[in-house]
Amino acid sequence: MNQTSTPLTIGAPKETVPGEHRVAITPQVVAGYVKAGFRVLIESGAGQAAGFPDGAYTDKGAEIAGRDQVLACDVVAVVRVLNDDPASVDADALRPGQIMIGTAAPLARPEVAQAVADHGVTLFSLELLPRTTRAQSMDILSSQANIAGYKAVLMAAAQLPKMTPMLTTAAGTIAPAKIFVLGAGVAGLSAIATARRLGAVVSAYDVRAAVKEEVQSLGARFVEFDLETGQEGGGSGAYATQMSDEQLAKQREQMAKTVAGADVVITTAQVQGAKAPVLLTKEMVAGMAPGSVIVDLAADQGGNVEGSQSGQTVVVDGVTIIGTSNVPATVAHDASLTYAKNIANFVALLVQDGQLNPDVDDAVVRETVTTANGQVLHPRVREILGLEALPAPPPSAAELAAAVESSTTDTGETP
């Protein structure tokens, strides 16, 4: 970077959504930003709830600043864009030409993206990252889901009136708890691994039959049903898609017996931009033994369980249903460490020679940019907002090169 040029600034404000204890920049990533040529500004107290006092930041070279100064940085890193509120007063501190990076839930709350666009800010919504190997180090959904799956098992174990592992004593043998995990994505696999470490007998189900080997590798039994889902080829790195009402009804019918035999059920099924599918009906809950526990990790998206309520624990027919809300924030220290590293890895794609210069030919950059130049750019978000589709951009140099290579490749067998 040119010694006489004004250094880029990057800042992290304190999150103000109730219960949100994470922070988008931790002391551990500050040195990397400074090395890249940034001045790092942190709002006073931004990391306190996650165990990062102001002094931990200044020791690494960051500066403590006021909220408006942080929100005026060239790059603003957040956990919740505009505090999930399109009418947030924080929007008044933004300026055209800035970059904001974080979670905006643009497919569920497109109005937030529109508010950012109205202020001329370029928004990168990291929920929209492509599920590719290269993007894994920036994948906030995976890093936070991993923590949610772990914590879900601990929440269930704390409520269950049984011990989780098998225990042999002079008074007899205590059988291990039976835990059934619905959904074997990142959260589900983390829950399986945690339950196994606690000594439970674990079984799991997913509409994507390709995850069977991953489930079994963790020591769990993969439950199979006679059900065509159209998603048999997707692994744990692929998103599940919404099923029809008929498919869901058949799934519930075949699943009822497995649910009834479980001490704990953990549901993790979510579909981006849509209400979570109801996997457990009231009748299925009533079929479980009194004292059983259900943890609904999709409660914030409408819930996988009839009767679950976001952020509340209720008892229905003797079964405790934990309706979770923002589980990663309950493990704020480690959740912040992983989230901040995801953000730092993404920022590295945007900076070239000490200047902000996002590479539009980069699929990771292109697929996450949600707003720019005063308008919403992402096609799906525009559609939800009722905006006209923008003209398709010309193919990038990399895409053209790939097309040429594909057309000239010999498709015969390799000698």
What pLDDT was estimated at residue 291?
98
Sign of the dihedral through C-alpha 354, 359, 362, 363: positive
Give the closest residue to 53 by CA, choosing from 29, 85, 26.
26
Calpha distance 333→147 (Å, rounded)? 11
What pLDDT was estimated at residue 229?
57
> What digits encode the pLDDT tens for the residues 196-223?
999 999 999 998 888 999 999 999 999 9
What pLDDT was estimated at residue 246?
75
Q: Which residue type, as a one-letter code, is found at position 249? A: A
Calpha distance 90→68 (Å, rounded)? 8
> What digits encode the pLDDT tens for the residues 58-112?
999 999 999 999 999 999 999 999 999 999 999 999 999 999 999 999 999 999 9
Calpha distance 37→71 (Å, rounded)? 19
DSSP E strands: which ranges in 278-403?
293-296, 313-316, 319-323, 351-352, 355-356, 369-372, 375-376
Calpha distance 236→139 (Å, rounded)? 14
Calpha distance 170→124 (Å, rounded)? 60
Of 239-253, 291-305, 382-396, the least confident: 239-253
Sign of the dihedral through C-alpha 394, 397, 401, 406: negative
> What digits encode the pLDDT tens for the residues 4-36?
468 999 999 999 999 999 999 999 999 999 999
Cβ–Cβ under 8 Å, residues 46 and 79:
no
Q: Is the pLDDT of residue 233 over 60?
A: no
What pLDDT was estimated at residue 404?
43
Please report, rounded to a whole number, the percentage of residues in the chain having pLDDT higher than 70.
89
Please report, rounded to a whole number, the percentage of residues in the chain having pLDDT higher than 90.
78
Higher pLDDT, 230 or 307: 307
Residues assigned a catalytic role:
131, 136, 139, 142, 239
Q: Is the pLDDT of residue 407 over 60?
A: no
Q: Is the pLDDT of residue 2 over 50?
A: no
pTM confidence score? 0.89
pLDDT band at 406 (very low <50, low <70, confident <90, very high): very low
